Every structure is written in structure tokens, then in C-alpha cells.
Amino acid sequence: MAVKKGGKAVDVADDETPVPLQAILLADSFAQKFRPITLERPKVLLPLINIPMIDYTLEWLASAGVEEVFVFCCAHAKQITDYLGNSSWQTQPNFKVVPIESHDCVSAGEALRLIDERNVVRGDFILVSGDTVSNMSLKEVLQEHKERRKSDKLAVMTIVVKRSHASPVTHQTRLGNDELLLVIDPLTKELLHYDDGLLNNPNKARQVAVDRSLYLNKPSICLCTDLQDCYIDICSPEVLLLFTDNFDYQHLRRDFVKGILSDEISGNKIFTYELHGEYASRIDNLRSYDSVSKDIIHRWTYPIVPDIRFAGNNVGLKIERCNVYRENGVMLPRSARIGPSSVLGQGTSVDENCVISNSVIGRNCVIGRNVTIEGSYLWDNVTIHDNVTIQSAVICDGCVVRAGARVEPGTVLSFHVVIGQNFSVPSYSKISLIAQPTEEDSSDEELEYVEATSVTTESPQKLLEGEQQLTDITGSSPQMERNPPTVAWKESEVGPSGAGFKWFMRDESQEEEWRYSVAPIPAEKIEEMRLREEQAGVDDFDQDAGAVAEEEEEELDSVKKKRDFEREAEETFRRLFLDGVPEANVILEVKALRLGFNVEGSDCAAACFKSIINLALEEPFTKDSELFIIAKRLFSKWKAILRNYLTTEDDQVEVLLKFEEICSEPAGKAFAPIFCPVLRVLYDQELIFEDAILSWASEKQDAEEGDKIFLRQCEAFIKWLEEASEEDDDDDDDDDA
Amino acid sequence: MAEQARMKAYYEHRAGHRALPDSASSAVTNEWLAQAEAALANEEPALPSNGSSSFSVIQEFNIWRSNPELAESVAAIKALTAVIRRSEAATMMGLEKELKIASDALKAWDETSISLSAGCDLFMRYVTRTSALEYEDIEAGKARLIERGERFGDISLKARKTIAMIGQDFIRDGCTILIHGFSRVVLSILKLAAANKKQFSVICTEGRPDSTGVEMAKEMVELDVPVTLIIDSAVAYTMQSVDMLLIGADGVVESGGIINMIGTYQAAMIARSMNKPVYVAAESYKFARMYPLDQKDMSPSPRNVYFQKSLPSAVQVECSARDYTPPQYLTLLFTDLGVLTPSAVSDELIQLYL
Amino acid sequence: MARAMPELQLAISDFLLKLQRRQIEGSFDSAKHTVLLLRQVIVQHRASHSGQASSFIDAVKTVGARLVAASPIELAVGNVVRRVLHIIREEEVSIANNTEDEGETTFDSDDNNNSDDDGLPVLSAAVLAAANRNVLRAPSLHNLLESAVIPAVAIVSSSSAGDSEERSRSSEKNSKGWKLKHSIIEGINELLEDINNNHAQIAEQALEHIHQNEVILTLGHSRTLLQFLREAKKKRSFEVFVAEGAPRYLGHTLAKELAALNLQTTLITDSAVFAMMSRVDMVIIGAHAVMANGGVIAPTGLHMVALAARRHAVPFVVLAGMYKLCPLYPHNPYVLVNEMKSLSQILEHEESMEYIDAALNVPDLLAMNPSFDYIPPELVSLFITDMGGHNPSYIYRLVAEYYSPEDHSLE
């Protein structure tokens, strides 16, 4: 089959490219972000501004010169192949859409292995998913990829990235993706590191570990957190082989990209291509569904916009003021206010006094009087009765919202759900006619497909699909005939005479529901996040945040631990010094901390020392001599407790190093001129012994010039000590003798 | 006295034609009828003396004109058709001569009506051309002329429909249209636009002295179109919020300008000075062979002007019912020949009469 | 419609897609492609015997309507479709007239039949010929009273001729059909030639308009204008100010092209147009389309230039090939005959996304990028087309000459 098609494609291909440009389109996201909607219809067929998503992707590929697209369908494969079979893509010249069906693939990796088996891909190909909206021209990126391949056979893949700032508060891009860290060689654009897990624990300070080997041979590397992965990959045929060879690769990014980057033996490389002035986004979750819809309405995706016809969009809407798109023949009463950035589909009727803003209304919807719709997505054949308020919701085909009901932000009403009169649907509800499967697949969130085949969901689904088609044609209210009387919808979930089951989110995700819903992030959530961020920001300030980035991971952990300990211990000591907490209690507490953080005694000494220094700095002084007097007084006052921690030479050296560190910091600068006198005090108070000072001095001997300021300052003192110790030695010798 | 009766009949018909519905205004009509008669008493109408035939054609004309759906020029053509039917002329030449007399009589009966004379001219032109095509058989020629004349009513209706189709394209959602005077063509445009669910609003001038704006406003209410009635002197005041001026025309003259109800000139001037388009809707049979250079070039068509306060008799009242709007104030004309620029009008007229 | 060849369908849908995807842009390219495609349509069209011309017209209209819908903004596409329709109508009439002359007897007999059926007086051939001539003309006062009947006679006569003779004289009919097709294709070829030569023909008039040491101002880029100035440069020396034409900045391209011709060229910003206008002798621009009322559709910024020119009483000259002449009136030029292009020519996507309104998830900073300005006819001093120079008020005459009114709407 493929050969025959290939032959044909060559006939019509451009004269310059003998091999037709091919693309693999994954029509299955292998994820569950759109559930429960995706139980009934595959994600790529969900309407985006009234046109199935897959049409946007195909239109872009076709206009960018792709000649053959392999559409890989898995979940609901039949629906997709049926759709494609009846679509205008079949008749388009120089463009071939070849569906590849599978029923047991559970990941992108498996899909690619299957395609590799079929042996249909003959050259460089473009790998995208069926939910990509873009208007980028592929010419340049393909050119770059080919050039690179000529000189470097190991450059197997080029991924397209686009500049996009994540919100500083939620660490989430506008598309609802987590903040992404890419390490890129700015000269070659080679991707060195890919990290999308920055957000894993929002409570922790955000830190990154980069392997030193990454930058050893590079003049510079670039750490970018302002890039967004467009999930558009230009791949060489080797990519398929790599998937076949590494049969444990499942996820394109988590497994494949990371795998390639960490595999130094084979040396395969991935490069990046940054988009400028063109648009590319992938609809991964409901938030990106909202954002991309708005981008389309605002015409970032020109010429793929609702008022220009393209395959799948053969109606052609008219654009009016304020980005309102209206199908010819949509009648509006004078009193209806259609606000900015809205779309009204064919055959939709809107009654008096409706207010619609920032919303997309599908085809053949009926909207009653005094209805307010804001920031919402109504698909086809939706019926909204009078006095309904809908905010930031997704309402699928055939839903009915009865009079006076309210739909709160973030709600998803799946196909043919009915909301009863005057019922208020709480925020972030998900309601479907299909009951939530009782036992969740605990393996992972991955698989749309596994669920779909499990017995619990399949039978109602089949039932629905059949009837859905039927009701789509007749257009009569569906749920009445459909629902066997035995099914009891709960009035508490859908209101009086409503229809649908409420879905409850799994515990972990429930809290985070707001992150990925269509509703804008509520102000209080942002405030909450900001407070948390500020907290973290204060912590970061103490530490040298800039230096953190390029340290090795294990080291990093201990440094961090130490720092935390230090802070805690300092606090404890302060309480002793200022609030007069009994000494014994403090010692006990510090001991507990020490065990808790698993640090050494020397750290306790340093912490104690630092709190005394801080104490000294808090007292008023004008001259160095005054500060010296204060310090001297404090050290003599608290020498007992400090001595507790200075039992070994190491502890003492540690304190010295700490002292040096404090003096070189801006906060402790005042101590720099009196470093030597203070050291003298410590020596005199028998807190630090001469051995410790000498070993510190010898350790410092080899340091850089800048690090030896304090050593210089103490030169006389050390010399004196050395002489003294020699005398001691002599004395000892004498004694021995 | 026959003169008097004729005048009375004329004004009664005129009043009837305007179709002022309520009794209050008809009372006014009767009142000013007397005044008009008095005003015109000393003016000698230029009526040809062959009374019997002229009287019949005028009667015929008045019968047709009482039908509110028919424009004046249509009525004129119907009346002329009746003349043909009654004619006993043996040759085409004879018939033509007879018609000429009748048409002159008609024109003279109401010199002020542009559409009447335009209709007469148009039909006469057609008669001349038909006879030039050498119909040997007078009966066949007559039949043909009658047939055309009969169908002219349909043509007129069709013309109105065409104009409505053309004109409604120019009405877009959310626009505000200023209307001066009552015009069946304008109304048909608005009716069609409203039927197509266009959302527009209308501002009507009062249209003194006949209160034509009130009529228009009533029609708008029936169409469920929001309407505002303003006094004639508020045109400049409201022009800011207006998107276009839409007017009918009594006649379209060779320069491409129009003759229409008094006040049109000033409204068009204001619209033009504020860069608002001025659209004229007029059937092509209203194109008249006239070339007025200024207002005084038109024969006056006095209309009673009613003032609320009684006037000292020494005060002269300007009571012209029409004015001439020069072409430079008009943007486009919607006619059954298509959308025309004012300069295209003279082309059409030259084509016909040269 | 007869079954069209799959090859033709392929060509049509290929062109449609290119229009939809805005891969073919600009009036010249789209007009030329349209003519080539329509010629193919005519060549491959197999008309049934009766009503030959009308079947051609139907075929062209069907394709034409699709093309116009694909990219309504390219008015030239619609113009060319209407021109082709006009050619078909014209050829039909001229062929009908020729047959009358050749075989008057047969025609008369046909005519008698019709007339008897309709109960109409006998019409001589001369009348019919006159009527046929009228078929093409726009409705006018001239034929107001006749229009209802005579075209009917004409149509009846031509079609009945076909019906009655179909069997007996099919060979002759075929040759007649072939003749019609042939002359239509010839007409289309002429049109194509006109389109191809329009730049040159407009440029030929350059010397009449540009004088020694004049200062010309323009905005953006136009192929016609480039040739026009190149032609003038051969005999005259003059200076050109080019406004850059944001956001596409095609003025930069034009300025460089002109400088390459050794023309003294000055690049100015769009906002400097008014400031520079006092030193300018003439503004010359290329149009995107010319509407029936003499209004001009041109790239954004040109209305401003026209107003500046009017303020300083500088002649504003518009160059436009005849295929840019559109028989439609601008009902609503600000909305209908325009297209909002991508914002990214003005604003980077990520820039806009920095100003998101958190409560609505809508960026507060957006851009508008309309393609065209509408310049009202009163601001235009002169049109220069391949047919010569015209006053804006004369444009309707050209429209009447090149288009049949029944084609104004392609539905």
C-alpha cells in the first residue's frame, strides 16, 4: 500500500525534492487531560472554534508543503478514520492522509515503533500531535536540519521552541504547561538538557542541577526558562530506529529526549529551532484549549483564522468589530450584546438581552433570554434556557442547561448532560453521562486507551455512540430516550431532572484542578502562590542563589541541608542570647537539629559563632574599636556555650573559615578591619587554639591572592604563634628529655 | 368656475394622494385648500383649449393616482394608455399627435410635478420610437403600445424591488440612517433591510409642512425599527450620529442633481460637510429632461405652510414645496438601472433623448 | 454542467487552496492565474448543444464563485471572472448576428414560429438584431420599456433554433459551437495579453505625466509604479520620495530598486508624509483595486497620503491595470473589503502575552493589522490604466463597457 502511494506521490512531487515530505501525526495524546470528554470522542476531533483540532494541524501541514501524513489513531480509531474518510482531505491535490490504526498502543513510543515496523517513512519527517495549531513555515527549519545532517549524521532531531514567559507566580506558561528549563549551546543550538520537572515541588526553592560534562568543552551555554516546547519535531529516520532499539522509550520527551541526551555512547544530538513571528502551540490541556482559542480569535494564527476558508472550515465567518466572528445568517436581537472576541456559529439563535463575551458558541445552539456567557466554549446543538449564567466552562454537544441555572468557572459538561432548573454547578465540576470508573488505573495517568477498553466504560460508551449519531440527526432532546429509567442521576449533582454523573478527581490532582482548567486562575490562588513565592524568595536571598545552578547534585543537597540547619541553629542561639532561654535547653535543641539535619559538630560551632557576630553587629557602633569592644564583651560572655562546640581542631578551623566568610559578606564587612584583633580575643579566651590557627594559615597558604586578605592581616600574629609553638616544642622536647 | 373646480379637484387629489390618515390633518388640508385656491386664483394656467380630450385624460390620471401604490409617473402613463385605447386615429402619426396633445395637457395640469412630466416624456419617447420602427398595421402598433403601457405598472413595481435589493446592501448592522421626506422607494429599501434582519435605526425629519416624517416614523414602528423624529432644523444637530442620509426624489435632473421635498438641499449639504454619504433612491422613470442651475429655475410648487401663531398679513411666506440639490452633494443614486454616480445620470438621459 | 476532467478539478482545487492559504497574493498574480484557469475551464468544457453560451457561463460562474469565496479580498479574481463572462456573452451575440446574415431564411422561419406562439407582431431581422445588441447593454432608460420582451424573443429564437435543428443540422451546430468556443478562447487570450502587458502599457504614458525635475512621492511597493518610473527615467530626471509603508515595509524594497535605476530616491517614514508633501509635485501610487464609483482600495496608509496631497493641492495619481477595475460599489469599505492580517507583523506574540488580564485570561495588549485603505473618489485626481487616463467620475463608464450587469453578482 505504501509503495503504491509513494509512487504516486513522486509523480506530483515538486521537482526539487524527490522524496515527498512526510509527517507523522499522533492522533492520540496518550493522556487523560480532557476526560471525561475524551471517553466519547477522541481529543483531535474536539472542536476548536467549531472546527476539529486535527483540521488545524492538517491544514498547517498541507500549506507548509507536507505531502503525506500518517495519522496514527488509537483510542476511538474508528471515529477518526471515519472523519478523515469523509473529509475534504481525501480530495486535496498533492496531499495524502494515511490513517494507521492500532488498538493496543499505550504510548507515543509504541506508536512510533509500530510505524517503524510498517516501513513507510523514507526520509526526514515531521512529528507532531493532532492538537497542534501553527502557521509556521517549515522551509527554514527543514533547511537547517538538512544542512546540519550533512555535516553531522548524529543530529537526529530538531525540536521547535518558541519564546514564552512562564508566570513568575504559578511557574506555568499560558498554555498550562509547567515551566521548562532548556540548556542550549547558543552557537550550535544544540540541546544539552531538557527539564520539565521544575514545578514538581512548589514548596522547595527551585534549583537545577546541570552536569558539568555538558559545558566542559563549550565556550558558553545558555540556560533558558523562557522557551516553550511546541512539540513540533523534525526527525531523521533514525528516530524511529532509536525507538525500536530502546523498547522502553514511551514518552517523547520524558523518555526519548532525556534518553538521547544522557546517552553519551551513541552520541546522538538534538537541536532546537526558535520560532520568530510565527505561531505554534499545542493543546495539551483545557487551559491551552482556552489560550489557543483566544490566539486564533485574535488572529495570531493567520491565515488559519475563522474568516478564511480552509479545509474543514468551509463556512467562512465574517469578522466584525472587536474580533466578533459571526456566521452569515446568525440572527441577533437588538438587545443582545455580543462582547469582544467571540464566535457565533451557523444556525445559532440568541434571544433578547443576552450578554456573550470572550466565548465561542458552536453551531445550531439555542440560547434563551437574559443569558450571560463569559469566557466559555459551547459546542454544537447546545440548548441554554432563560436566565442562565455560564462562566468559563466547556459545554459539549447536545447539553441542556435549564432555566435559572448557574455554571461556575472551570466546569466541564460532557456530551448530552442536562443541568436542572436553578441548579448551580460548582466550580471545576466535571459531569458526564458516563459514570466514573470505580477503580482508577493506578499505573500512571498516561492511558486514555486502557480505560476506553475496560469493561466498565465500554458498554455505555458504545450505547452512547450509536444514539449520539441518531440524536445528532434528529436534534431532539436526547437524554430522555437514551437514559433507561433505571439510571438514577443524583439531584445533588445535576439538579432536578438533570442527567449526568459528577466525576471526582483523584486526591492529588483535585487541588491542582485550577491549573489546567479553562477558567482563569482565580485571584486568591495567585495571591496564595505569590505569598509562597515571596517566602521562598526571602530564603533564597540569604543564600547565594546565583551560584547554585551549576553544582553537582549530591553536593547540592548537602549544601542546602547545611544552610537550612544553619538558619535553624542560629535562630535557636539567638533565643538563648536575647530571650534568656536556659542554656541546657538550647544545647539540647541544637543537638536535635544536628541529628535531624545530619550535620557535623563543626556546623553547630559555625552557627553559634555566626549568631554571636550577628548579635555584635546589631549593637550600635561608630568605630571599629567600638565594635571590637562589643565583640570582645560578647565573646567573653558566651564563651562557655561556644566552647561546647569547639572541641576539636576541625571545629575551630571551621569557625575561622566561617569568620572569614562573614567578613567578606556585605553584612559582616564591619568585622573585616578587626579580623586580627578578634582572632586574638578568641585565642586569648581559649576558644581557638594555636594549632587550629596554624593549620588554617597553612591551608590558606595555597589560596588565591584575593582569599588571603585576612591571612595577611594576621601575618604578625601567626608568626608570633609559630615562634611560640616552636618554643613550646622545644619546651616539650626539653620536658621529654 | 370650471377653473375653480379643477383646482379643487387637483388639491383634493393631492391631499388624498399624500394619504394623511387622521381627521385632524385632513381638516388642516381642507383649510389650506381654500388658501391655495386663493393663492392661485390670479395665476393663469397654461392649459391648451381642446377641453374635452384633456379633461378625460386628467380624470383618468386622477383615478390611477388615487391608488397609493402607484407613483405619479405610472399614473400618467396609464392615463396616456387609456388615450390610445380610446383613440380613433387611422395612422400612427395621427395617434402620436393625439398622444402629444394629451401628454401636454397632463403636464400642464400640474406643471410642478416632475415625475408626472418625466413619465409623460418617457412614454412619448417610446411612442415615437415605436412608430419609427414602421408598424404598418396601426392596430398592431396600438396593441403593442397599450400592452407596454399596461405593463408599466409592473415595471414600476419591479423597479422598486430592484432598488430595494441594491439599496439594502448599503445598510449594515448598527448603522443610523437619516431620512428626509416620505418616499415609497426608500421605504421599500428599509422594509427589505428589516426583513433581512439588519439592525439599523432611523432618524426621520418632521418634514414640514406635510409632516411626511411622521408617516415614515409610523412605518418604521411597524417594521420594528427604532426611530427618532426630529424637527427639520435639527438636522445639523443630529448629523454627527448619522451614518448616511437616504432620500427619495421627485425627479432626477440631467445634471445628476435631484429635485425633492424642501429641506433636502440643506440636509445633503450638512451631510456632505460632515463627510456622510448621501444616497438617493429613485426609479429611472423619474429621470427628467431638466437642467436647473439654481433653485429659481424650477417652476414653483407652492404648498401651504401652517404657522402656529397667526401672522400679520404683511408677512410674506415662502411656501415652495421642493428644492433642487446639485449633484456635488450626492454620493450615489440607487436606481433600477443599478447604482449610479450622479454623473452617470446625464449619460442615461443623453442616450435616451439624443 | 458537463463532467469536468479530473485534471481540471485538480487544477481548480490547487488554485483554490493557494488562494485560501494566501500563497497567491496580489492582484496581478491572482488575476493571471484566474485567467489561465478559466481558459482551461472553457477548453475542457463540453457544452450541450442547446444553450451553448449559457452552459459556458454557468461553468465559469460556478468556478468563479468558488474562487471569489476562497479569497474575497483579491478583488481581481472576481473582476477577471466577470470579464470572461462578458467575453462569452459578447461572442454569443456576435455569432448569433453572423448566422442571421448568413442564413436569413431559416432564421426567419424560426422567428415566425415563435412570434405566432407568443402572439406577438412579426419582427424583422433588423429589429431582432437591434434587440440582440440590447441584450448586452446595461438596463437603461433607453430600453426600460422594451427590456421585458425583446430579450425574451432573442433567447427564444436562439434556443429554439437549436432545438429544432438539433438533429438535422447537428454538424453545422457543432461547427457553430466550435466557433463560439474558439472565439471565447481567443477573447480570453486577449484578456491574458492585456493583463500581461498592462504594466508596459501604463508605463508608456509615463512621459506625459512626469516632467523634468519633478518630485514624486509614493508609499509602499507597486510593480506597476516601478515600471512607470523606470520608463520616465529614460527621458527625464526627477526625484522620488518613498514612504516605507509600515508594517510590511515594502517601501524599502522599492527605494532600493529605484536607486538601482540611478533615480535619486529618498526614503521617509510614513509619518513624515505630511511634512514632506509641500515639496512634492505629484503623488503616484499603485492600487489594489478600483471600485465602480472611482474609489480606490490600496495598501494601508494611502488614504492618509491622499489627504495630505489634497491639503497641499498635489495631484494624486493612481495607476491601475484594467483588471483591477471592480464593478462593485464599496458598501462598507471599512469592514467588508479588508482583511486583518497577522498581528505578528506589528507585535511579537510573547510581548502581547506579558500583558494578560488575569481575570479573563485575555491579553490587554493586542494589535490590528488591516491590509487596505479605502480612498474616496474625490481625493483621486487621475487614474492611469492601460486604456489611458481617466477621471474618477468616468470609471462607471469603463465598468459599463467591460462588464455585463447580470454578472455583478456571481451567485
Lowest mean pLDDT among A155-169, A287-301, A474-488: A474-488
More confident residue, C223 or A583: C223
Could you tell me if A200 and A189 are in contact, meaning their C-beta atoms sit under 8 angstroms apart?
no
The pLDDT confidence band at residue A14, using thresholds 50, 70 and 90, is very low
Among C142, C292, C396, beta carbon nearest to B351: C142
Q: Is B126 on the interface with C (CB under 8 A)?
A: yes
Contact call for residues A498 and A489 (beta carbons, < 8 A): yes
Domain containing A675 — which CATH number? Answer: 1.25.40.180
Partners of residue C22 in chain A, C-beta under 8 Å: 303, 308
* pLDDT at residue A728, rounded to an integer: 56
Q: Which residues in chain C are closer than 8 Å to A174, comparing Cβ atoms?
A: 353, 356, 361
The CA distances from residue B272 to A137, B236, B264, B331, C23, in Å, are 48, 11, 12, 9, 41
What is d(CA A556, CA A536) in angstroms, rounded to the nearest whole number?
17
- Collapsing DSSP to helix, strand or coil, B283 comes out as coil
pLDDT over 70 (residue B81): yes
* Rounded distance between C-alpha atoms, residue A483 and residue A587, angstroms: 71
Nearest-CB residue to C361 (from A291, A300, A303)? A291
Does the beta-carbon distance from C22 to A320 stay under 8 Å? no
What are the E-state strand segments in A74-180?
A: 96-101, 125-129, 132-134, 155-163
Task: Read off the DSSP letter of residue C219.
Answer: E
Query: In terms of residues, how long is chain A?
Result: 737
- Does A546 have pLDDT greater than 70? no
C354 contact A CB<8A: yes
Give the count of beta carbons closer than 10 Å to the beta carbon of residue C279: 12
Q: How confident is the model at residue A1 (pLDDT cuts 50, 70, 90)?
A: very low
Is C292–B348 a contact, with Cβ atoms under 8 angstroms apart? no
Higher pLDDT, C371 or A592: C371
Mean pLDDT of A580-601: 74
Answer yes or no: is pLDDT of C134 > 50.
no
Name which of C121, C139, C144 is nearest B285 (Cβ-Cβ): C144
Among residues A258, A275, A290, the one where a domain terminates is: A290
| Mean per-residue pLDDT, A244-248 | 84
The mean per-residue pLDDT over the stretch C26-45 comes to 91
pLDDT computed for residue A435 by the predictor:
81
pLDDT in tens, A338-361: 888 899 988 899 998 999 999 999
**pLDDT for the residue C258:** 95
Gap from B174 CA to chain A (nearest CA, Å) = 9
Q: Chain C: nearest CA to B69, how far in angstroms?
A: 20
pLDDT for residue A273: 92
Nearest alpha-carbon partner for C292 in C400, C165, C181: C400
Q: Greater confidence, B164 or A153? A: B164
Contact status of A441 with chain B (Cβ, < 8 Å): no
Domain termination site, one of A247, A272, A290: A290
Are the Cβ atoms of C142 and B169 closer than 8 angstroms? no
Q: In a mutagenesis test of the A interface, which of B197, B202, B225, B227 is the best target, namely the one with the most A β-carbons within 10 Å?
A: B197
Report the relative pairing of strands A360-361 and A377-378 from DSSP bridges: parallel
Q: Which residues of C touch A300 (CB under 8 A)?
A: 342-344, 349
Instruction: Give C341 to chain A, closest Cα distance, Å.
Output: 6
Provide the 8-state DSSP code for B26: H
Q: Is B138 on the interface with C (CB under 8 A)?
A: no
CA distance B301 to B43: 12
The answer to whether residue A320 neighbours chain C at the CB level (below 8 Å) is: yes
CATH classification code of B169-353: 3.40.50.10470
Last residue of a domain, one of A260, A290, A320: A290
Mean pLDDT (chain A, rounded)? 77
Highest mean pLDDT (candidates A503-507, B67-71, B136-140, C301-305): C301-305
Q: Is A580 on the interface with C (CB under 8 A)?
A: no
Q: Count, in order, helices (H) and strands (E) of chain C.
A: 15, 12
Q: Would the pLDDT of A205 be above 80? A: no
Cβ contact B114:B259 at 8 Å: yes
Query: What is the per-residue pLDDT across A515-533, written as a single tens digit (0 to 9) for each?
Result: 788 888 888 777 887 787 7
Residue B43: φ, ψ to 5°: -90, 125
Percent over 90 (pLDDT), chain A? 17
User: Can you tell me which residue has the cell 523498547?
Assistant: A247
**pLDDT over threshold 80, residue C52:** no
Long-range CB contacts for residues A542-546, cutoff 8 Å, separation at least 24: A542/A567
Considering only alpha carbons, which residue of chain A is nearest residue C350?
A: A164
pLDDT at A706: 65
Size of interface A-C (CB pairs under 8 A): 89
A694, A701 contact by CB (below 8 A)? no
Distance of alpha carbon A517 from alpha carbon A523, whole angstroms:
14
Q: Taking CB atoms and an 8 Å cutoff, what residues of chain B touch A320?
A: 173
* pLDDT tens string A663-687: 777 777 777 777 777 778 778 877 7
Higher pLDDT, B21 or B144: B144
Of A504 and B330, more confident: B330
Q: Pick A174's closest partner by Cβ from C20, C23, C356.
A: C356
* Minimal Cβ distance to C141: which of B151, B169, B348: B348
Sheet-wide strand order for A406-407: A337-338, A355-357, A372-374, A389-391, A406-407, A424-425
The verdict on A55 touching C (C-beta cutoff 8 Å) is no
Confidence class of residue A74 from pLDDT cuts 50, 70 and 90?
confident
Q: What is the pLDDT of residues A621-667, one digit of tens each?
A: 777 777 788 878 877 777 777 777 777 777 787 777 777 777 777 77
List the domain boundaries for chain B: 2-156, 169-353
Q: Do B226 and A320 count as a contact with CB atoms less than 8 A apart?
A: no
Whether residue A88 is contained in a domain is answered as yes
Is the CB of C363 inside 8 Å of chain A's CB atoms?
A: yes
Is residue A475, in this structure, part of any structural domain at all? no
Residue A366 lies in a domain: no
By the 8 A CB rule, do A418 and A498 touch?
yes
Closest residue in chain B to residue C336, using alpha carbons only: B172
Task: Give the mean model confidence (pLDDT) for residues B123-130.
Answer: 78
Residues linked to residue B281 through DSSP beta bridges, in sequence order: B334
- Residue C408, pLDDT > 60, answer yes
Can you tell me the mean pLDDT for A99-113? 85
Please tell me if residue C213 touches chain A, with a CB cutoff of 8 Å.
Answer: no
- Specify if A49 maps to a domain: yes
Domain extent for A609: 551-736
pLDDT value, residue A509: 53
Q: Which fold has domain C205-407?
A: Rossmann fold (3.40.50)
Percent of chain C clearing pLDDT 70 (strictly above): 77
- Subunit contact B199:A320, Cβ cutoff 8 A: no
pLDDT of amino acid C331: 75
Check CB contact under 8 Å for B155 and C148: yes
Give pLDDT tens digits for B110-125: 777 777 888 888 888 7
Burial of C195 (0-12, 13-18, 19+ CB in 10 A): buried
Q: For residue C7, what is the nearest residue in chain A, using CA coordinates?
A: A93
Please give the DSSP secondary-structure letter assigned to residue A260: H
Q: In this complex, which chains have at least 3 CB pairs below 8 Å with chain C?
A: A, B
Extended beta strands in A150-257, E state: 155-163, 181-184, 190-195, 222-224, 227-235
Q: Choose the weakest-confidence range: A480-484, A507-511, B182-186, B311-315.
A: A480-484
Distance CA(A110)–CA(C356), nearest Å, equals 39
∠ CA A140-A143-A149, nearest 5°, is: 145
Q: Which of B48-57, B160-169, B219-228 has the lowest mean pLDDT?
A: B48-57
Of all residues in chain B, the percent with pLDDT exceeding 90 is 27
Amino acid C31: pLDDT: 93
Residue of B nearest to C334 (CA): B172
Q: How far is B59 from chain C (nearest CA, A)?
A: 24
Residue C329 near chain B (CB below 8 Å): yes
Residue range A259-272, pLDDT digits in tens: 888 877 788 889 99
Stretch (H or E) spanning B324: strand B322-325
Q: Rounded distance, CA A695 to CA A725, Å?
A: 12
Q: What is the pLDDT of residue A588?
A: 78
Sequence spans of domains, chain C: 6-198, 205-407
Residue A506 has what pLDDT? 59
